[in-house]
Amino acid sequence: MTSTEALTDIIMSELQREVETLLSDIELEQDSLDQIEGKARAFAKTCGAIAFKAHIQASLEAQAYGYVGSSVELADDKGRAYFERYESRWVSTHLGRFRLRRAYYWNPSRGEGAIPLDEKWDLDEREPSPSLRRSIGMLGAEMPFRRGHRLMLQTALLDLPDKRLQESSEALGQQLKERRQAATKEALPMLRDPNVGVPEVPAMARKGTLYVQMDGGRLNTTTESWREPKLATLYWGHDVVETSKDHRSILNKEHVVVLGDADELAERLWEAACRWEWWTAERVVVLGDGAEWIWNRAQELFPEAIQILDLYHTMEHIWEVARQLYGGVGKQKDKGATGATKKQSAKDRKTGQWARARIAELKLGDIKAIIGNLRQRRPKRAAAREAVEELIGYLDKNRSRVSYAEYREQGLTVGSGTIESGIKNVVNLRMKGCGMRWAVDRAENMLNLRAAYLSDVGPAAQLRTA
């Protein structure tokens, strides 16, 4: 009898007993649809567990329980560890908990051990299997741990404690972060060392437009009050598709996030951009809201990139100044209880007329005209004067980034809505729930997990593979 035939006999004999148990519990004249489905789900999971247990036991025997000889080499040149005994451990899977027996090696001089099978099967010190870790990570990235516990119980019939979900989610986030930090260290010589540099690609061979958007958010911590996570998002222009008249989607994007400073984000962004082979792009476009740190890092990483000031952010600045100057509500709709829009006041009309005229000039890239008009304003209120001066400074500093008519002719995106959506999705929806405050290290791990979960491509996106 072959090993496969023996395995078949073991599985089928146990399945036969489960079928008999199921049939003995069936009450054809009494069972409701919900009861029938519940019994069938429990039966299916039990059958899967039987097959899994038999399969894993056969694999353990075939692989000698991880015994690979009398000694093994320890990592990082720490010498050899010698076979000492077999140890058992629990492993939690989608099908339940199982015990594994595997060979244990020990180096007495260094006081370190090794379990080759754990390394081969990607088992860490926690119980969940690799597949279950990914499922837990997706739940932890998507929702609070208490809700994740309820969803796991309902959908997978797994009763995992909230704390287990939290620990496994944060551990996976830390693992993702450490992997990206190691990859960043390897990529930095291409940026810092002039003797390395990036591959040279002839101009005629470069294709497509690579977009890079950056911004910062806010989250509350237990020890440092509010911190600013910084996020960058990369995507190719040809991956932007129109899903409706007023909505576009990006088919493939990658989020990079840190809870550190702008320099740390720049290094992580560089590693991601190198994986995307940014040097093959015909154009690199960096979009931002005008924050100085964005332009500084863009110049450092992509000195020949086209830098574009977010059009819609600038339009909001203009509307705010208009409201300060003329006191109207601007483009906001003031609706009463009936939902009908109220008649515009004289202030509203003046506010809208001035703002729309400036925005028309903005879309033409005529910053000189806007600043000239602003300098003619003589507001009496200090708040209005401050708003005018702030807008003048904002536009003056970004003169080279507002050639919107030219950008549109080239088919370039002029709004940074992608990164604003990224801040909302990566940070706000998961990390800024009512009353949420995070330990800094936990927050950083969860941010990395969330960014991986919401990325469509890149190593981190493997989180979604089963």
Residues 325 and 386 in one domain: yes
DSSP letter at 335? B
pLDDT tens for the chain, 466 residues: list them.
Answer: 677 888 888 888 888 888 888 888 888 888 899 999 999 999 999 999 999 999 999 999 999 999 999 999 998 888 999 999 999 999 999 999 999 999 999 999 989 999 999 999 999 999 999 999 999 999 999 999 999 999 999 999 899 999 999 999 999 999 999 999 999 999 999 999 988 989 999 999 999 999 999 999 999 999 988 999 999 999 999 999 988 877 889 999 999 999 989 999 999 999 999 999 999 999 999 999 999 999 999 999 999 999 999 999 999 999 999 999 998 886 654 444 444 456 778 889 999 999 999 999 999 999 999 999 999 998 889 999 999 999 999 999 999 999 999 999 999 999 988 889 999 999 999 999 888 899 999 999 999 999 999 999 877 666 655 4
Q: What are phi and psi of 244, to 5 degrees?
A: -160, 180
Residues 31 and 55 in one domain: yes
* Domains held by the chain: number: 3
Which of these three, 107, 123, 139, is where a domain ends? 123
At 340, is the secondary structure helix, strand, or coil? coil
Is there a contact between 206 and 280 (Cβ–Cβ < 8 Å)? Answer: yes
Residue 224 included in any domain: no
What is the secondary structure of 246-281 as a DSSP string? TEEEESSEEEEEESS-HHHHHHHHHHHHHHTTGGG-
Residues 396 and 326 in one domain: yes
Residue 339 included in any domain: no
pLDDT of residue 29: 86
Residues 43 and 26 in one domain: yes
Residues 51 and 36 in one domain: yes
Bridge partners for 89 per DSSP: 100
Which of these three, 92, 123, 154, is where a domain ends? 123
At 15, is the secondary structure helix, strand, or coil? helix
Q: What are phi and psi of 65, to 5 degrees?
A: 55, 30
pLDDT of residue 245: 76
The 10 Å CB-count burial string (b at 16+, else e) for 201-228 is eeeeeeeebbbbbbbbbebebeeeeebe
Residue 432 included in any domain: no
Whole-number Å distance between alpha carbons of 266 and 271: 9
Whole-number Å distance between alpha carbons of 344 and 373: 24
Residue 303 included in any domain: no
Residues 80 and 102 in one domain: yes
Residue 38 included in any domain: yes
Residues 54 and 72 in one domain: no
Residues 72 and 54 in one domain: no
Which of these three, 46, 62, 78, is where a domain ends? 62
pLDDT of residue 462: 62
Q: What are phi and psi of 391, to 5 degrees?
A: -65, -40
Residue 382 included in any domain: yes
Is there a contact between 245 and 453 (Cβ–Cβ < 8 Å)? Answer: no
Question: Would you say the C-alpha torsion 446, 419, 333, 328 has a positive or negative sign?
Answer: positive
Residue 457 included in any domain: no
Which stretches of 302-366 are DSSP H helices? 311-326, 346-363
Question: Would you say the C-alpha torsion 452, 222, 168, 97 has a positive or negative sign?
Answer: negative
Is there a contact between 348 and 328 (Cβ–Cβ < 8 Å)? Answer: yes
pLDDT of residue 89: 96
State the residue range of the domain holding 46. Answer: 3-62
pLDDT of residue 334: 41
Whole-number Å distance between alpha carbons of 358 and 405: 15
Residues 72 and 28 in one domain: no
Q: CA–CA distance from 424 to each of 217, 232, 444 (Å)?
A: 8, 13, 16
Residue 236 included in any domain: no
Question: Would you say the C-alpha torsion 358, 364, 365, 367 has a positive or negative sign?
Answer: negative
